[in-house]
Structure 1
Amino acid sequence: MHNFDHPIDRRQTQSMKWEKYSEQDILPLWVADTDFMSPPAIIEALHQRIDHGVFGYTLVADELIEVLQQRLQQRYQWSIDPDWLVWMPGMVCGLNIACRATGQPGTQVITPTPVYPPFMSAPKLSDRQLVTLPMLLDNGRWIIDFDQLEQSITSESELLLFCNPHNPGGTCYRLDELQHLIEICDRHDLILCSDEIHCDLILEPGVSHIPVASLDTQLAQRTITLMAPSKTYNIAGLACSFAIIPDAKLRQRFKRVMKGIVPEVNLLGLTAALAAYRDGEEWNQQQLEYLKGNRDYLIDTINRIPGLTLHPFDATYLAWIDIGTLALDNPMAFFEQAGVGLSPGKDFGNDHFMRLNFGCPRATLEEAVSRIRRAVQQRQA
């Protein structure tokens, strides 16, 4: 059994997460990597590759492709062709490439908000018009407002950026919701870029991730699915992700935009990805149980703090906390002064929220909640 309670000192390791508050008594619960050691199988595979001692240009191993095909078939009954895969060093570049590979300068890209900030920056960086679609809180779940989506689509709309499971908010879309989305995309001939990086981090029993492209052959021909092992196995620093693009013409445009600009995935990233997908499942099942405990603890304790609300959610290790009733002028500074570093909701499109990363030992999380509770109580005294 892996000990997720064991604290790992990440200070003095050039960790983006921890260096932000270097020399300050602020617990960093912001950027989306965990404080857990990666699976032993990944560490062992990296040691073996490093011991070889040669780090030249590297091809994607046939075994990695085969393992990935088997994984998608077993989990989702989704049969993919190896030719559909496009390997990249990160998910963010995938969003930007998708914007550049579809439509023309000036055409519209629609994205639901609140959402991971690159969803909003990628269209602008690509000279596309950004159209934001406020999400709907439906029975405590953050979902796309399908009626508003339909009304937002114009003759200039080319691409919908979709996030499932959603970041932030943790929604894992159900079959009927995905079918509704497919109907809208079919009707309006929208290309869909589906970021599914958190697909292996489903915490709610009885809920399963469904890749939208696996449901409809016609939609699959207009879909770019983005996945990676990085969030699940805490290997974001090794920079390995991939796109699944069934349509040859769309895939060719995607690759053309990448050419000469986006580098190949490095050999250690590919090594880690293979070990993760081939040998990391038992470790992840243990991680999911631990994260579920952290999630349930947070939902219980945060909702006991007057002025804060955390709705139940299905997936990810990212809690989307409603702080609106506190009426804070500077929420980021307020929580930093309390000794907790969170991600400000305004970066995601709603400044009435803060995002908290609970991918950490329970003791760290308990201390963070204690600090938050004390600061909120003092404000309300």
Structure 2
Amino acid sequence: MMWIAIRMLTGDRVKFIGLVFGVAFSTLLITQQLTIFVNLLLRGAAAVHEVSSVDIWVMDPAGRTTDVTLPMPSTDLQRVRGVPGVDWAVPMIRSGANVRTPEGALEPVTVVGLDDATLLGLPTAVMLGQRESLREPDAVFIDGVGARKLFGSDAAAMNVRLELNDQRAIIRGLVDAEPTFTSGVLLYTRYSNALNFVPGTRNRLSFVLVRAGDGEDVAVVARRIETETGLRARTSAQFAQDGIDYIIDNTGIPINFGITVALGVIVGIVIVGLTFSLFIRDNIKQFGALKAIGVTNATIRQMVVAQSALVALIGYGLGLILAITLIELGATYSDAFKGFYTPYQIPLIAAGTVVVMILITGFLALRQVLKTEPAEVFR
């Protein structure tokens, strides 16, 4: 009987394709939009994840994220170093600036000033140049996305002289940095150089990066820093979550993506529901004939379930393949999607949504079949 049910379903190719398209479209929309949404949120924590060897980020009490903070006096570095439980602490500047290229174009950039001695915070993947080249006078490293944005290719950015806030800067290397939410051009340089590159305000220290001593509880050390200095101290995990929460709380991204996903589910239910209803209506005589020869309602239910399962399996598979393919193509050929990937939870969510959608439409179609009387076939 299951074979008869499948033949009934595939016999009308137009309706069968319509059912598969409805499920595939919903799967594609849900998977793609959720993937973009999750990766955009993760970019809020990209700058924190870039410095994996740091336990605690210390900032002004008004600081929220790596891009939303208030500069501190340079003396705060020594104050943090004097807190019990701190193994070492280094400064970091993260500030906006304007750069003028040799062609005269003016572009906004983010200057990241790293500790002169350790260069802590420089991405480990140096694609062009040598890490030690950053110690040269006026040397800066640029991220790959920024290099392609300003100069068209990675190699074209090497050894280019820039005008950075009326100061000379020379690109001596290119790094593979994880894109941030703002996706701006990143210029890495030594802390002493960054003091000349960023606008000359009285306070320019953005963060103090802290490593807790061996055997110390990181959360306890962070609270100790806050108590003794009055500054805001967050563990790396907490500060990464702060960046994600800031995007959720201060942008319309969650609402917009939520609406898109909801529309995908609604459109899928409507398409599959209407097409399934038309399929049942066109085959009502066949179901009546089956009842007339003694097929029970339990068998009829199994037939409808088999039809629904086949549609769900094929539609879900096609939609998932298309969604992942589009994401992979975007990550390969566009810097806007650099680093995007599909977490395993998203296909599971899409699968659960498809199951619910098929259950709803299958239940409505099944009611129509069960109400059919065997005598219908003789009328």
User: How high is the TM-score relative to the length of structure 1?
Assistant: 0.24
Highest Rg: 1 or 2?
A: 2
Using CA pairs under 8 Å that are at least 6 residues apart, name the structure with larger relative contact order, 1 or 2.
2
The TM-score with structure 2 as length reference comes to: 0.25
